[in-house]
Amino acid sequence: MALTSEQTANQTNGRGVTQDAYADTEFPTPYLGRSVRIVDKVVNVDMKQSPHPKNQRGELGKPLFNWYHNTVSKDPLTRVSAPNHFADRRHFLSTVINQAAKGAINPRRVEVSDPVAMTRHIKAVAHYMGADVVAVAKAHPSFLYAGGRYVQDGSAQDAYESNTPEDLTRRFPYILVATTAWDYDKLQAHRHFIGDAAYHVSQIKGNMILKALEGYIKELGYTALRGVAIPQAAGVASGVGELGRNGLLINKHFGARIHMPDPIMTDLPLVADEPVDIGVDDFCKICRKCANTCPTNSITFDDKVVQNGVEKYKINWLTCYKLRPYVHDHWSSCLTCATVCPYTKPNVWWRDLAVKALHTCPYVARPALVHALKWIDDRFWGVARNHRVRWLDYDSGVKPGEHACTVSGCTASHAGQEQEVTGDFGFYAPLKENTNRFVKR
Amino acid sequence: MSSVARKWPWSKKNVHGDDPYWDFFINTPPADLTNTVTELIRNAPAGNIFPTKADIHTPEITSQHVKEMARYFGAEWTGIAKLERHHTDQPDSYPFAVLCAVQAEYNPRVSPGIGGQVPVQNGLFITFVLSAWIRELGFRAHVESPLEAEALAARAGIGRLEAEGRLVTLQFGDKVYVADAICTDLPLIADG
C-alpha cells in the first residue's frame, strides 16, 4: 500500500500474524479483497518518508537529487506535463492548481437526507468533470498518513493536522477516490516520450478534476481534506481495483493504466463501495510478466510478504527509482509493468468478458483459466511490448540517440535527420540486460 | 480520458432527472470563487518562451499536429483562423489564432454553477496546456480572452454563427463552448 520506509517495515515484520489486527478497537480490520490483507497493526507512515520527499531532501544520493531538481526535459510536452523537469514552472498546471489558495466551506450547507442519492450524485459529478473511475471507501485509521499533509508541488494545510488518524476517521468517515485512465495506444510506447504523454497529460487532468471536486464538496457545505489518505489503500477498499504484483492498482475496465492520485477525505454523507474480486490475486500468482520485463528487476518473483502489517507483493521502489537519471534523455516514466500487465487492454467487450470469466470462475478452477488467458496474451500481444508507435512527430521506431523525421509528407529540411526507419519494431531504452550497470542491487 | 457525457441532440431523456442535487451543481453560483478551478487557471500568469526553437515541420503538418494535440487534451473541434489585424511590421502581433471547442450540455453563460462551468473548465485546461506547449516549442502563444472566439471559430470552419452570435455546429447544435483563442506566431495554415 503505502511506500513505507525500510525502517518502518522492520518494526513490524517480525511480529506474529493475527487474523484480526483491529479486533479490539472501534475500527475493525477492513476487508480489502483477496489481493491485500491487513494481518497486523499498521504503523501510520509519514508521507515525507516516501520516495519523492526523500529525494527532494537529497537522501537518495546526488544523481537522483540532481535529476529531480536540476534537469530540464528535452521533450516540449514533458516540460509542460511532468513534475520537476519543466523549463518554466508556470507551464505546469498541477503546480498552478496545487499551490492555489484553499476555498472556504459554504456556511449554507446542503442537507443530505439520502446518502445513496448523494453518492450517486457525487459520482455523476466526477464523471461529468472527466473522471474515468470514481468510488467511495469507508475510512480506516490504517489508510491514513502520519504527520502533516502532503501534496506534490503544492500544499494542503488544514485545521485538523494535529488530529490522530482515529480522530480523523471518526470525523471524516469517507474517502472519495476519483481518477483518470491513460491512453491505451500511447501507453504501448512505454519507456518513451509517447508513453510519458499518456501518463502525464491524464495526470494533470486528474489533478484538475480532483481540485474541482474538492471545491464542489466545500460548496455543498462539507469538509474536503487532501494529502491525508493513502490512495492505494482507499483504492482497494473502495473497489477501484485489486493490488497487483507490480504494486499498481488493477481496475476492471482499464487494468493497470490508471493513476492513483491523492483522494479526498470528507464528512459528506455517502455510502461506501466494497472491494472487488476480478481475479488479480490468482493471475499475479502465475503470470509474472511484469517481473520478467521490469528493466530494473524491481518486481518480486516471490510470494507476498507482510510489510508494515499488510500482506502484499513488495516491490523494490529504490531500484525502480534509481534508473531515472540515466534515461532522462529518452523518457521520464517507465510504465513497462503497467503496459505488459494482461489486464491493461482497451476498454472493450472482449476484455470485459475475460474479467467477467475470472470473476465468476470458482477459485479452484482459476489457475487453469489464468494459464489459458496468459497464453492468449503472450500469443497475441507478446511476452514483451516492443510495438512501434507513432504519434505527431514522435516515433518509437527511431533508435534512442538518433534523429529522423518519419512524418508522412513532410518536406521540411531537418538537419542531421536523414536516416530511414523501417519495420514495425519499437526501441525502448534501456534494454533490461543493460540496466545492471546503472542500478546496483 | 472521458469528456462530457455524450447525449444525442434529438434525445429528450434527461439523464440527471432523478438527481435531487443536479440543479444545485449546474445553476447555483459558488459562494467562494476560490472553490472553482476556472478562476485560478484563467488568472495564472503565462510562462516564458523556451529559448531554443523546436525543429518543426511544414506549416500544413504543424497545423495537423497542433489540432491533434488539442484533441488529445480534450477538444472536440479545433480550427485555425488567420488574424486580420496582424501586421508583419509589428513584432508583437500574432498571425494565427487556434480555436478549440468542447461540448457543452448546459450553456455556461446562463449556468453559473460549478457544473454549468465545466465546459469553461475543460476549455481552460486545453488552452492552458496547449499554449504552454507552443511556448515550449519556442514560439509565442498567448491566450486572449477578449477576442471574439466564436466568430473566429466560425471563420475557422468549426461551425456557423447564429443570429445571437453563438456558434452552432452540425453535430451538437448550440451545445458547444468555444474556449479562449490562442494567438500564436507558430507557422500554421488557416482553415476555412
Cα–Cα distances (Å) from B20 to A50, A110, A222, A333, in that order, read 42, 11, 17, 42
Query: What average pLDDT score do residues A197-223 get?
Result: 96
Query: What average pLDDT score do residues A28-45 get?
Result: 93
Q: How much of chain A exceeds pLDDT 90, in percent? A: 66
With 70 as the cut, is the pLDDT of residue A217 above it? yes
pLDDT for A147-187, tens place per residue? 777 776 666 778 888 889 999 999 999 999 999 999 999 99
A118 touches chain B (CB under 8 A): yes
Q: Which residue of B has its CA nearest to A118?
A: B21
Q: How far is B68 from chain A, CA to nearest CA, in Å?
A: 8
Return the exposure string of A112-134: e unless at least 16 CB atoms fall within 10 Å of the residue's CB, then b.
beeeebbbbbbbbbbbbbbbbbb
Cβ–Cβ of B19/A411 closer than 8 Å?
Answer: no
Cβ–Cβ of A110/B21 closer than 8 Å?
Answer: yes
Cα–Cα distances (Å) from A212 to A200, B39, B141, in that order, read 19, 11, 26
Q: How far is B108 from chain A, CA to nearest CA, in Å?
A: 14
A216 touches chain B (CB under 8 A): yes
The predicted pLDDT at position A11 comes to 40
The predicted pLDDT at position A83 comes to 85
The predicted pLDDT at position A435 comes to 66
Q: How much of chain A exceeds pLDDT 70, in percent? A: 90
**Of A221-225, A405-409, B161-165, where does the model show the most confidence?**
A221-225
The predicted pLDDT at position A351 comes to 92
pLDDT for A229-266, tens place per residue? 999 999 999 999 999 999 999 999 999 999 999 999 99
Interface A-B: count of C-beta contacts within 8 A? 169
Query: What average pLDDT score do residues A317-338 get?
Result: 90
The predicted pLDDT at position A14 comes to 36
What residue has cell string 471518526? A170
Q: How far is A88 from chain B, CA to nearest CA, in Å?
A: 6
Cα–Cα distance for residue pair B165/B162, rounded to 1 Å: 5
Task: Report residue A50's pLDDT band, with 50, 70 and 90 as the boundaries.
Answer: confident
CB-CB: which of B3, B33, B114 is closest to A216? B114
The predicted pLDDT at position B8 comes to 61
Cβ–Cβ of B30/A409 closer than 8 Å?
Answer: no
CB-CB: which of A89, A205, A405 is closest to B1? A205
Q: How far is A42 from chain B, CA to nearest CA, in Å?
A: 34
The predicted pLDDT at position A16 comes to 38
Q: How far is B141 from chain A, CA to nearest CA, in Å?
A: 12
Q: How much of chain B exceeds pLDDT 90, in percent? A: 64
With 90 as the cut, is the pLDDT of residue A323 above it? no
CB-CB: which of B3, B46, B114 is closest to A219? B114
CB A393 within 8 A of CB A378: no
Burial of A429 (0-12, 13-18, 19+ CB in 10 A): middle
Q: Which of A147-156, A348-357, B119-128 has the lowest mean pLDDT?
A: A147-156
Residue of B87, B80, B76, B192 lying closest to B141 (CA atoms)? B80
Cβ–Cβ of B19/A128 closer than 8 Å?
Answer: no
Show me where the domains of chain B are located. 14-184
Task: Report residue B10's pLDDT band, with 50, 70 and 90 as the boundaries.
Answer: low
A411 touches chain B (CB under 8 A): yes
Cα–Cα distances (Å) from A385 to A205, A354, A355, B113, B129, in that order, read 26, 20, 21, 45, 29
Hey, of A91, A196, A211, A259, which one would you mutate to test binding to chain B, going by the most B CBs within 10 A of its CB? A91
Task: Report residue A370's pLDDT band, with 50, 70 and 90 as the boundaries.
Answer: very high
Cβ–Cβ of A96/B41 closer than 8 Å?
Answer: yes
What residues form DSSP beta bridges with A176?
Answer: A136, A264
Task: Report residue A4's pLDDT band, with 50, 70 and 90 as the boundaries.
Answer: very low
Contacts of B121 in chain A (CB under 8 A): 129, 208, 212
A96 touches chain B (CB under 8 A): yes
Cβ–Cβ of B118/A129 closer than 8 Å?
Answer: yes
Cα–Cα distances (Å) from A255 to A252, A340, B144, in that order, read 6, 10, 40
Cis peptide before A430 (omega within 30 of 0): yes
With 90 as the cut, is the pLDDT of residue B131 above it? yes
Hey, of B7, B26, B72, which one would you mutate to test binding to chain A, going by the most A CBs within 10 A of its CB? B72
With 60 as the cut, is the pLDDT of residue A295 above it? yes
Average pLDDT, chain A: 88
**Of A14-28, A36-50, A207-221, where does the model show the most confidence?**
A207-221
A390 touches chain B (CB under 8 A): no
With 60 as the cut, is the pLDDT of residue B87 above it? no
Average pLDDT, chain B: 88
What residues form DSSP beta bridges with A120?
Answer: none
The predicted pLDDT at position A78 comes to 94
User: What's chain A look like in SS3?
Assistant: CCCCCHHHHHHHHCCCCCCCCCCCCCCCCCCCCCCCEECCCCCCCEHHHCHHHHHHCCCCCHHHHHHHHHCCCCCHHHHHHCCCCCCCHHHCHHHHHHCCCCCCCCCCCCCCCCHHHHHHHHHHHHHHHCCCEEEEEECCHHHECECCCCCCCCCCCCCCCCCCHHHHHHHCCEEEEEECECCHHHHCCCCCHHHHHHHHHHHHHHHHHHHHHHHHHHHCCCCEECCCECHHHHHHHCCCCEECCCCCEEECCCECCECCCCCEEECCCCCCCCCCCCCHHHHHHHCCHHHHHCCCCCCCCCCCEEECCEEECCCCHHHHHHCHHHHCCCCCCCCHHHHHCCCCCCCCHHHHHHHHHHHHCCHHHHHHHHHHHHHHHHHHHCCCCCECCEECCEECCCCCCCCECCCCCCCCCCCCCECCCCCCECCCCCCHHHHHHCCCC
Tell me the torsion sign for CA atoms A276, A282, A285, A287.
Answer: negative
Cβ–Cβ of A410/B57 closer than 8 Å?
Answer: yes
Contacts of B132 in chain A (CB under 8 A): 80, 90-93
pTM: 0.91
Cβ–Cβ of A124/B19 closer than 8 Å?
Answer: yes
Hey, of B15, B16, B21, B188, which one would you mutate to test binding to chain A, going by the most A CBs within 10 A of its CB? B21
Query: What average pLDDT score do residues A26-40 get?
Result: 93
CATH of B14-184, one of 1.10.287, 3.40.109, 1.10.10, 3.40.50: 3.40.109
The predicted pLDDT at position B7 comes to 55
The predicted pLDDT at position A18 comes to 44
Q: How far is B145 from chain A, CA to nearest CA, in Å?
A: 18
What residues form DSSP beta bridges with B93?
Answer: none
Cβ–Cβ of B31/A80 closer than 8 Å?
Answer: no
Task: Report residue A92's pLDDT band, with 50, 70 and 90 as the boundaries.
Answer: very high
Cβ–Cβ of A76/B25 closer than 8 Å?
Answer: no
Contacts of B73 in chain A (CB under 8 A): 201, 205
Q: Which residue of A has its CA nearest to B2?
A: A130
The predicted pLDDT at position A5 comes to 40
The predicted pLDDT at position A19 comes to 52
